[in-house]
């Protein structure tokens, strides 16, 4: 089992949170009875192990016992999780307020309603593959789900499942990095921020010129970033975007390269040298030219 309890990082995370965790938990209805585990900090760690750490409810409580954190049942954790929305929302607002105070107020993202779209694979007990796929949309910073859809394992990740409005900034990962989906978001008047997958999303330099990127990227030092204007064409319409690139650390680049090589080997394909080199960078596309 993976170490998803964040034992070393928890002290850092705790410093970001308000001192009155227990008081907030009580006032927000997370604690409704005096009996049982009433340590808000421990409950938050369990919730993060489950939600952010990728552990099931049963795995979370087993891991908690192994680490000596708490003796609770998966049913108890599930019930607490159902009562946690208001409390977690308040903690998120606290974190945003602290960061705003440190960094100062800026135009973005207050001009938009932020929305994250993703999908999660679901396996039934005893299954060896994906049985179901849950597609969902979450609003930030409220962390509220405004859309969900359950499909079988053939249900692809695509923005076509959702409706968009002009006041939205849509954040999506590489699974949604294709021209048809991004065009749908932009045609609705919304903005998009997406991890670029070069193999699935062909780009051009502005005015239709060939995009030559590697020489410029190679000049970046570790942690350095660069950007350039690009465009793509879909259904005979041209869409302007901005491509941002950040050079990964050597360790992160090696890990990304190994993942790409393993994926190609598993799929029985041969990864192109350029595609493998691009795994050493974080590549992001956005339609909003004002984003920092």
Residue 5: predicted pLDDT: 46
DSSP sequence for 51-77: HTT---HHHHHHHHHHTTS----HHHH
CA 120/CA 44 separation, integer angstroms: 22
52 three-class SS? coil
Lookup: tokens for 185: 């978001």
Angle between helices 57-66 and 40-51 (to 10 degrees): 130
What percentage of the chain exceeds 90 in pLDDT? 36
Q: Render pLDDT for 194-212 as a digit per residue (tens, 0 to 9).
A: 999 988 899 998 888 888 8
Q: Render pLDDT for 38-96 as a digit per residue (tens, 0 to 9).
A: 889 999 999 988 888 778 899 999 998 988 888 999 999 999 999 999 999 899 888 88
Q: In this model, does residue 99 exceed pLDDT 90? A: no
In 153-262, the DSSP E strands lie at 168-172, 191-195, 204-205, 225-234, 237-247
105 three-class SS? coil
Lookup: tokens for 215: 């020489």
CA 112/CA 203 separation, integer angstroms: 26
Under 8 Å between Cβ of 177 and 194: yes
pTM, to two decimals = 0.65
CA 246/CA 228 separation, integer angstroms: 12
């Amino acid at each position: 089992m993976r170490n998803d309890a964040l034992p070393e990082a928890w002290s850092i995370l705790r410093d970001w949170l308000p001192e009155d965790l227990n008081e907030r938990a009580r006032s927000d209805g997370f604690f409704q009875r005096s009996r049982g585990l009433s340590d808000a900090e421990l409950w938050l760690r369990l919730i993060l192990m489950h939600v952010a750490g990728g552990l099931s409810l049963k795995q979370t409580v087993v891991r908690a016992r192994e680490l000596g954190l708490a003796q609770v049942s998966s049913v108890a954790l599930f019930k607490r999780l159902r009562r946690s929305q208001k409390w977690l929302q308040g903690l998120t607002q606290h974190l945003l307020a602290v960061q705003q105070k440190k960094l100062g107020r800026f135009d973005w993202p207050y001009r938009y309603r932020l929305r994250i779209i993703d999908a999660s694979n679901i396996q039934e007990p005893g299954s060896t593959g994906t049985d179901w796929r849950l597609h969902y949309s979450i609003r930030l910073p409220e962390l509220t789900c405004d859309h969900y859809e359950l499909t079988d394992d053939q249900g692809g990740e695509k923005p076509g499942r959702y409706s968009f409005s002009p006041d939205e900034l849509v954040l999506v990962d590489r699974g949604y990095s294709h021209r048809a989906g991004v065009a749908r978001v932009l045609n609705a008047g919304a903005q998009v921020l997406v991890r670029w997958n070069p193999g699935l999303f062909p780009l051009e330099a502005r005015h239709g010129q060939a995009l030559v990127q590697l020489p410029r990227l190679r000049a970046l030092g570790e942690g350095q970033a660069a950007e350039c204007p690009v465009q793509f064409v879909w259904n005979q319409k041209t869409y302007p975007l901005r491509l941002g690139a950040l050079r990964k650390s050597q360790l992160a680049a090696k890990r990304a390269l190994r993942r790409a090589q393993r994926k190609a080997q598993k799929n029985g394909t041969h990864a192109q040298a350029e595609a493998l080199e691009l795994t050493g960078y974080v590549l992001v596309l956005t339609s909003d030219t004002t984003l920092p």
